[in-house]
Every structure is written in structure tokens, then in C-alpha cells.
Copies of this chain bind each other. A is one copy, B any other.
């Protein structure tokens, strides 16, 4: 088994209410000077090796399902 990571984050120009809420909560807990953006992390176990074809397949899966590409951007990282 091999592992591929897909990180999905809100696009910079998009309002990130979750990130704002976490930033505010951290401030109230006394953690100042931190600005947070929140996204999703997918750990994908792949049967067999991560071939270029398998990576292209995961890229397509991220495009179609894991990320909403209107408001989110994603990166595919081999572990």
C-alpha cells in the first residue's frame, strides 16, 4: 500500500468563516498573533505503487469530488 495526501483549502479570495471562527476562539484563549485558515486533508491509501497514471486518477478524483473547485484549491502530495 502507498499513500497519497490531498490538501484542500479555501481559495485566498474566498471568505473563510471557519478559519475566522477558529482565529477568534484562539484569541479568546489567549493565543494572540495567529491567523488561521481551515481546510480538509485526505489521506488516500492506494493499492500497489503510485504510478503517474494513478496520480492522474487521484488528481481527477480531487477535481470531481474532494474539492469544490469554484471556492477551493487542492494539491496532491505523494507521501
Chain A interfacial positions (CB closer than 8 Å to B): 7-9, 19, 22, 25-26, 29, 31, 33-48, 57-58, 60-61, 64-66
Q: How many Å from the CB of A76 to the closest CB on chain B? A: 12
Contact status of A58 and B34, CB under 8 A, knowing A25-B65, A66-B22: yes
- Check if B34 sits within 8 Å of A64, measured CB to CB: no
Query: Considering only CB atoms, which chain B residue lies closest to A1 in the complex?
Result: B35
Task: Give chain B residues whose Cβ lies under 8 Å from the Cβ of A57.
Answer: 31
- Check if A40 sits within 8 Å of B41, measured CB to CB: yes
Q: How far is A41 from B7 in the complex, measured between Cα atoms in Å?
A: 7
- Check if A34 sits within 8 Å of B61, measured CB to CB: yes
Query: Considering only CB atoms, which chain B residue lies closest to A54 in the complex?
Result: B33
